[in-house]
Structure 1
Amino acid sequence: MAVAFRDLFGRRGAAKHQDVAARVTGLAQGWSIEITPKQAAKLERIPLPKGTRVNIAYLPDEDAAQILQTAARLVFEGMVPVPHVPARTLASAEALDVYLRGLAAVGVREALVIGGGVANQQGPFSSSMDVLETGLFQELGFARIAVAGHPEGSPDIDAHGLAGALAAKNEWAARSGMTVELMTQFCFDGRQVLLWEQAIRDAGNRLPIRIGLPGPASIKSLLRYAQMCGVGNSLSFLSKRAGNVLQLVTAAEPDGFVVDLANAVAGDRDNLIAGLHFYPFGGFDKTAAYAKALAEGSFTMESDGEGFAVTA
């Protein structure tokens, strides 16, 4: 039996059920998902619809060869690979050049450029902007770039630095002519995300935003990943509502969070939230099936209209 995020977090009133369902389905169109090379290697077949965007996480214990191999496989199976390019992990300008040329050679045309959460900078790049300013993405024919968004701040940069970085990313997007979007770390608190979106929009952000959220997972797993990834507000928020030990091992689903986002987008035509990105903390197959169900409308609204249950 699953516990919905709304039951953990508390909810607001809802609109008509059919309207909310349509909003959820609309927001879920074009969803994307995260994978690691190790996860991909365990899958005989990638269980995703053709054309799905799949972010390939470049973790500290991975290397470029593993990312390239996973990207080539995703292209072969009809997906759209979006490999991470972690600035502070790259040992040299040559390493970046070789990595991006390798990705381009296997058919990659999109990337997520991030600072990279390593304790010690490995080479000349200290930020995502350092990588973007090399001009390599334009030279190699990349068509779409995602950059990081931080609704809960970042352990690597203060609020003033984040504001400056976001302004620089907006300026680079306009100057480069490339399609650029913000992709956030995973979050649990819809209210926090919506306040952040409004704040950065007021400050001048014009980039569309893809919101990161966990797929179905146990509360225990969510707490562990929140702690590992430094999403402090969500960690505190989730800890206060985790309940007893039994609830820690109970599955939680993000339906209430998704409803909040879908209603907010419908109620504000200037809202820049443009899609969902799923982190498969509860298993890749399970998360992929959940995301697919949302996009297909394979869910039933709860009686209060504030959440839903997947039916397929």
Structure 2
Amino acid sequence: MSFSETSHRDPVSAMARSAAIEIIPLKSAEEKLLLAATDTKITITCSPKFGIARTMELSAYAVKHGYQVVPHLAARQVSGRQELQEIVCRLNDVGVSELFVIGGDATGESGAYPDSAALLDDLAELDHRLERIGVGCYPEGHPNIAEKALLEALRRKQVYADYMVSQLCFEADTILGWLRRMRSDGVKLPLRIGVAAPLSMRKLIELSVKIGVGSSVRFLSKQHGLVGNLILGGAYKPEELLEAFGEELQSPELGIEGVHLFSFNQVQAAVDWQKRIGQRP
């Protein structure tokens, strides 16, 4: 049976199998990522706490062990064009062919790039071997950036990018409504839906509040019974979000190409979910 036939019968199952798993470069990350099958796409975050160097180190480790790797690059952590050139050279040497570019949370004046679009302008002029570039998007908006500015940024970035990944969101209608607006406003980038791994509800709500997706947390709490789940230790089921998209999951006009799984380094839970949903009839 071909992939297209399987996808048509159960697109949720197909997306689960092909989901990229996001890993934070903590000390235990090397051991954690080896839990995933080598045909799994691994994305590695970049934050002020761990820095670009740690992201590059873990990316090289993952490539060495046979994984297709997508390092994140935070624009505000890059000091300028010279450092960007050095990063590109290292990616070329390691054999990385895909990059996910974000603005990043770094503050102050250490970086030359105020946002990811500015870095992408320079990256386009460098000699690199990147075949795909991803960028972030925010179906629920951004606490520090106006909606109009987010739209203009996506329009600017899609000149260089190949796809976009949505910030964590728990409500299909919110993502669909936002995506329809983006399509009508000229944003054509394929979307990879940002989905949380099947963590305990207590842990997931705690982490979600930290990264600023409060309205989604309220929806999640209402739908799943917050108090009961906190007491009983219930687990989030990512497939329910994908199933809520219905036929829209395969809509050519909406252009949803896959899933980005936020594992919060609970890699075994993410892998188990991929197997369980990916193998269902």
TM-score by length of 1: 0.80
Q: Residue 234 of structure 2 aligns with which residue?
A: 250
CA shift digits 1:204-246 (9 cap, x unpaired) = 1111100011111111112112111112321332344453544
Q: Residue 69 of structure 1 aligns with which residue?
A: 57
Distance in 2 between the 1:187 and 1:148 partners? 13
Q: Pairwise mapping of residues 135-154 of structure 1 onto structure 2 (< 5 A)?
A: 135=123, 139-154=127-142
Q: Is residue 216–residue 282 contact of structure 1 (8 Å, CA) maintained in 2?
A: no
Partner SS, residue 54 of structure 2: helix
Residue 54 of structure 1: which of 23, 32, 42 is its match?
42
Partner SS, residue 275 of structure 1: strand
Q: Is residue 38–residue 66 contact of structure 2 (8 Å, CA) maintained in 1?
A: yes
Cα RMSD (Å) of the superposition? 2.4
Q: Is residue 30–residue 61 contact of structure 2 (8 Å, CA) maintained in 1?
A: no
Residue 171, structure 1, aligned to residue 153, structure 2:
no
Q: Residue 254 of structure 2 aligns with which residue?
A: 271
Distance in 1 between the 2:184 and 2:254 partners? 11
Unaligned stretches of 5+ residues in structure 1: 1-17, 174-179, 301-312
Distance in 2 between the 1:84 and 1:37 partners? 11
Distance in 2 between the 1:198 and 1:122 partners? 37
Residue 183, structure 1, aligned to residue 165, structure 2:
yes
CA shift digits 1:168-217 (9 cap, x unpaired) = 122334xxxxxx10011111111111111111011111111000111111
Change (3 A) 1:46 1:121: farther
Higher strand share: 1
Q: Pairwise mapping of residues 74-223 of structure 1 onto structure 2 (< 5 A)?
A: 74-120=62-108, 122-135=110-123, 139-173=127-161, 180-223=162-205
Q: Is residue 214–residue 279 contact of structure 1 (8 Å, CA) maintained in 2?
A: yes
Distance in 1 between the 2:123 and 2:221 partners? 43
Partner SS, residue 112 of structure 1: strand
Residue 235, structure 1, aligned to residue 217, structure 2:
yes
Q: Residue 245 of structure 2 aligns with which residue?
A: 261
Q: Which 10-residue stretch deviates more, 163-172 or 124-133?
A: 163-172
Number of residue pairs matched by the alignment: 274
TM-score by length of 2: 0.88
Distance in 1 between the 2:66 and 2:28 partners? 14
Aligned partner letter, 1:274 = E
Distance in 2 between the 1:146 and 1:196 partners? 18
TM superposition shift of 1:63 = 2.4
Partner SS, residue 60 of structure 1: coil
Change (3 A) 1:218 1:69: same
Distance in 1 between the 2:125 and 2:143 partners? 27
Partner SS, residue 171 of structure 1: coil
TM superposition shift of 1:52 = 2.1
Partner SS, residue 122 of structure 2: coil
Distance in 2 between the 1:194 and 1:293 partners? 26
Distance in 1 between the 2:96 and 2:148 partners? 33
Identity in percent? 28
TM superposition shift of 1:138 = 5.3
Q: Which 10-residue stretch deviates more, 75-84 or 132-141?
A: 132-141
Change (3 A) 1:254 1:192: same
Q: Which 10-residue stretch deviates more, 24-33 or 149-158?
A: 24-33
Aligned partner letter, 2:239 = D
Aligned partner letter, 1:142 = L
TM superposition shift of 1:263 = 2.7
Change (3 A) 1:82 1:33: same
Distance in 2 between the 1:19 and 1:44 partners? 29
Aligned partner letter, 1:38 = L
Q: Which 10-residue stretch deviates more, 256-265 or 80-89?
A: 256-265
